[in-house]
Amino acid sequence: MRDGQKRCSLSFTDRRVALRQMPELWVTHLGSVPYAEAFELQRTLRDRRAAGELPDLLLVLEHPPVYTRGKRTEPADLPLGEDWYRERGIAVEDSDRGGRVTYHGPGQLVAYPIMAVDRVADFVHKMEAAIVAALADEGVTAEPRATPLTGVWAGDAKIASIGVRVREGVSMHGLAVNVDNDLTPFEWIVPCGIDQVRLTSLARETGRSPSLPCFRKRMAFRFSEAFGRRQRLVSASRLLEREAVAA
């Protein structure tokens, strides 16, 4: 028995050593942040990451209701006009990410990785794998699809979107997963340029009201795992400290 216990102890120790040797991914949970404010924060952090002042990091948050227009957005993607949307409490903001128009709102998980990127395609595939794994933890089978049906899908309905921009070798923007948000605003646009696409959410797929705080933690864990990183929780104030941190 003692020999068996020793073997288990050694195995556990080895795992702890391996975990400590993994590079860190700083993870910051920001709560609800207006899109324009989060956009400026991303720019600041991207510049610091490019300068080697910060390690790779992941911002996890929600947005108040907003339509964001990617670089390839067309006028027909917002068919009802900006004033109509704003009258219903939905902001309309431009973004320098790829893709077209999408919606963000309360109850939707948004995650923005500020990370060094070598190959964009590999980077996106790892994000897709992280989303699929986090949804599987909740009992939802999902899969990524190729262009033009980008994102992650549960059956014939889209449950998550990805849109990134890489400049100076560092990423901005990221992913959004519908958890328990209102899906109606998607019906008023052409989401991601895909006409007549059906949207779904974790709540709709499972028939229950999932906990967004719990799913935030699950998504951050699966994201870190997909990139082979050790998650380290960091406050927002720590990100903005001027002291450089080894990247």
Q: Answer yes or no: is pLDDT of 103 > 80.
A: yes
- Residues 126 and 112: their CA atoms lie apart, in Å, by 14
Domain count, the chain: 1
Q: Is the pTM of this model over 0.85?
A: yes
Does 244 reside within a domain? Answer: no
Q: Which two tokens stand for residue 177?
A: 């997963």
Does 211 reside within a domain? Answer: yes
Q: Answer yes or no: is pLDDT of 13 > 60.
A: no
Does 8 reside within a domain? Answer: no
Say which amino acid occupies 189.
I
Does 11 reside within a domain? Answer: no
Does 35 reside within a domain? Answer: yes
Lowest mean pLDDT among 126-135, 224-233, 234-243: 234-243
Q: Which range of residues forms the domain containing residue 188?
A: 24-239
CATH number assigned to the domain comprising residue 77: 3.30.930.10
Convert the pLDDT of each residue in 50-98 to its tens digit. Answer: 999 999 999 999 999 999 988 777 888 888 988 999 999 999 988 888 7
Does 16 reside within a domain? Answer: no
**What are the distances in angstroms from CA 64 to CA 34, 35, 181, 224?**
6, 8, 11, 26
How confident is the model at residue 193, as a pLDDT? 56
Q: Which residues contact 77 (CB under 8 A, 6 or more apart)?
A: 69, 100, 101, 189, 190, 193
- Residues 84 and 105: their CA atoms lie apart, in Å, by 17
Convert the pLDDT of each residue in 155-165 to its tens digit. Answer: 999 999 998 99
Q: Annotated active-site positions, please?
A: 192
Does 6 reside within a domain? Answer: no
Convert the pLDDT of each residue in 111-135 to its tens digit. Answer: 999 999 999 999 999 999 999 999 9
If pLDDT is split at 50, 70 and 90, which confidence band does 2 have?
A: very low
Q: Which residues contact 232 (CB under 8 A, 6 or more apart)?
A: 24, 25, 26, 27
Does 149 reside within a domain? Answer: yes
